[in-house]
Amino acid sequence: MDSITTENVSSVNSSGRIESVESLEDLDGRYADALLPLTIAFGCFTVVGIIGNLLVILVFSLSPEYRRNNFKVFALTLAYIDLITCLTLIPAETVKQQKYFEFGQVATCKLKCFFNVFGASSHCLALLVISVDRFLKVVLPFKTQMTPKKSIWILLFVAFLLPILLSIPGTLMCGIRTTAKVNIYGTNTTIYLCEPRKI
């Protein structure tokens, strides 16, 4: 993105008619206004999520009652994953809503794509481990069970390392795509989208 138009421009087309072109800044402004309720909701989710997850981490870390219990490990794991999401992905989405068609840097785009995949897969895989633990406790109570120490190692691999590996392909495929969008004047405005490249 070498240069970006920041004001409405009039240009002369091949037939000699003057055409108005909506600037990228104005196009972003229109979409930001339309997405304002969602942006406010995301802001609330971020604040509540950060405070709530920090409280969960504090309470479960200091509580002696759950010391030898898998529940503590699972609750802390979900709180850490959710805190990472609240600190990275939700603010990135909020920024994207303000500059929807003007996603600036390739590195920022790739980082956002990484956290999109990491957040979703990390939550799902952590819940899978919790489901297996519940299954063992309810259906096979007399078989070997997950200990808190064992569950920590399983979660480190399944809920953190594996999602990092799953996020790499999407991160490599993501980039800034330059294209044209028809604006309110019926002419084209050049836009810059952060999305996976088509293969």
Q: Where are the domains of the chain?
A: 19-139+146-196
Model pLDDT, residue 18: 54
Q: How high is the pLDDT of residue 25?
A: 87
pLDDT at 1: 42
pLDDT value at residue 17:
56
What single-letter amino acid sits at 124? C
Reading the block at residue 62, the tokens are 């200091």
Query: Which residue positions in the chain have pLDDT lower than 50?
Result: 1-13
What pLDDT is stored for residue 7 in this prediction?
47
Q: How far apart are CA 7 and CA 90, in angstroms?
A: 29
Q: What is the pLDDT of residue 151?
A: 92
Q: Name the 3-class secondary structure at 178.
A: strand
Question: pTM (2 decimals)?
Answer: 0.80
pLDDT value, residue 3: 39
Q: What is the CATH number of domain 19-139+146-196?
A: 1.20.1070.10
Q: How many residues belong to the chain?
A: 199
Task: Give the rounded distance of the alpha carbon of 113 from its chain centre.
Answer: 7
State the Cα–Cα distance between residues 68 and 158, nearest whole angstrom.
21
163 contacts: CB under 8 Å, gap ≥ 6:
117, 118, 121, 122, 125
Mean pLDDT for all residues in the chain: 86
Identify the pLDDT of residue 16. 52
